[in-house]
Structure 1
Amino acid sequence: MGKKRLEDAINKLDQPVKVVYKCFELDPTSERDVNYSIYEKLSQKYGMSLDQAKASVANMIKMGNEVGIEYQYDTLILTNTFDAHRLAMYAKEQGYMHEMTERLLRAHYSESKHIGDHSTLIDLAVEVGLDGKSVANMLSSDEMSDQVRKDEQEASELGIRSIPYFLINRKYAITGAQPTEVFVNSLQQILEKDGPFIEEITENGITCDENGCEIPKK
């Protein structure tokens, strides 16, 4: 959702903006195959009841619908997302960063695909134009692992603990899935202060983890 609102805000600006996605795992200890639901996960993580978890997710679904995102949390498949991040980094090197990120997000949140499964990841990669055999070879190795860990180390050094997190010109931060107008106003203020964007706007996190962004305890 944060990604979509940022994109909508950028479309309202008459300025060139470069967006680069970085890796961030909300739960790097998660197993690849998980036998519990997103509601059970949120209940355990935030100490809320299942009903409270469902209410929080229902609110997120409503907000998603408002920006054209169809979340399917009832059938969402939780998994370890490290290999999905490796694929995103590989796609970045091949010039398919945005396409691969968007495809992973839609597969996870709207299509209930298992993005920890290598065959699923290969199929998604082929859809955006990557070579299936090359992707399969990458996934069967430890290729791109260092790149993922480097991003995660950078996030740790910056004190990032949740996503979405947007770092602008390496010195301004916008956290959370803020309304589009908040992004617009913030970007305009930065333009007035710094002039044209001198570096890149970075979303520190491919938001394809099981929670999306932090949900406050009720």
Structure 2
Amino acid sequence: MKVDIWSDTRCPFCFVGKRNFEKALQDFTQNEKVEVNWHSFQLDPNMKTDLSKNHYEYLSEIKGFPMSQIMQMHENLIQAGKNADIDFNFDDVKVSNSFKSQMLVQLAKEKGKANEMEELLFEAYFILGKDIDDVEVLSEIGEKIGFSKDEITKATQSSELKNLVNKDIAEASNLGIRGVPFFVFNQKYAISGAQPTHLFSEVLEKSWNEFAENDSKFDIIQDGNSCDVNGNC
């Protein structure tokens, strides 16, 4: 059975959704027969890396809200993170374009390590305050799962990997995906947002039992917290 996941490495709800889905998958009796396929997505392709601003300052600037309001808006997200064993560190999150990190996910897919790469990129960005647009930082991350510095450097310059990222983004657009995380089960059922673990468990069971035919449309089980292309989280 196949599960396709569209995600942006700078999307906090994608991190939460990943952890909740993994908990459900771990308890799923047929988990060894589930193929998880990560897809690239960019919430803000035109965003420029700016290390002078943290996550709160950036959102305050683009939304026009005071910092205190932005921080208050994140309280539920921070709690959702804690429930998923994530300690978000938004004070230190660097404003970084995510395209190069998405190229690393594509590289990792070739060796069956996309899930590990996603996890390390999320941790680097949201917990350690790393610049995921920096090749040196990306090299350190890649080396943790067996890639050499040279492999990572070449990956960030690869036209082939760039095309794969853009292909994923285009596919998301064609499918009408406007926010992430977005999970598709057997090309039939979809879950939008960082849903609780029990919902992922239910859809895993449902998808496994039905083996639905391929379909270009989704039956969205439930909408949930996500980040959209307008910068809303």
Secondary structure at 1:73 match in 2: coil
Deviation of 1:184 (Å): 1.2
Structure 2 residue identity aligned to 1:213: C
- Equivalent residues of 1:71, 1:110 under 8 A apart: yes
In structure 2, the gaps of 5 or more residues are: 1-15, 215-225
Deviation of 1:58 (Å): 2.3
- TM-score normalised over the length of structure 2: 0.79
> Aligned to 1:96, which of 113, 123, 135?
113
1:9 lines up with 2:24 in the alignment: yes
Partner of 1:209: none
Structure 2 residue identity aligned to 1:13: F
Alignment of 1:1-218 (within 5 A): 1-15=16-30, 16-46=33-63, 48-194=65-211, 213-214=227-228
Secondary structure at 2:144 match in 1: helix
May I ask how many residue pairs the two structures share in their alignment? 204
Deviation of 1:139 (Å): 1.9
CA displacement, residues 101-153 of structure 1 (integer Å, 9 cap, x when unaligned): 11111111111111100111011111111121122123244341000000000
Aligned equivalents of 1:49, 1:160: Cα separation in 2? 30
Deviation of 1:189 (Å): 2.6
Structure 1 residue identity aligned to 2:190: A
| Cα pair distance change 1:216/1:103, threshold 3 Å | closer
Aligned equivalents of 1:178, 1:44: Cα separation in 2? 29
CA displacement, residues 14-57 of structure 1 (integer Å, 9 cap, x when unaligned): 11311111000001001133433322333455554432321122
Secondary structure at 2:94 match in 1: coil
Secondary structure at 1:166 match in 2: strand
- Equivalent residues of 1:32, 1:117 under 8 A apart: no
- Equivalent residues of 1:166, 1:174 under 8 A apart: yes
Secondary structure at 2:184 match in 1: strand
Secondary structure at 2:77 match in 1: helix
Aligned equivalents of 1:84, 1:192: Cα separation in 2? 35
Secondary structure at 2:74 match in 1: helix
- Equivalent residues of 2:132, 2:138 under 8 A apart: yes
Structure 2 residue identity aligned to 1:147: L
Deviates more, 1:76-85 or 1:37-46: 37-46
Aligned equivalents of 2:107, 2:210: Cα separation in 1? 35
- What's the C-alpha RMSD, in Å, of the aligned pairs? 2.4
Structure 2 residue identity aligned to 1:124: I
- TM-score normalised over the length of structure 1: 0.84
Percent identity between the aligned chains? Answer: 33
- Equivalent residues of 2:139, 2:152 under 8 A apart: yes
Deviation of 1:59 (Å): 1.8
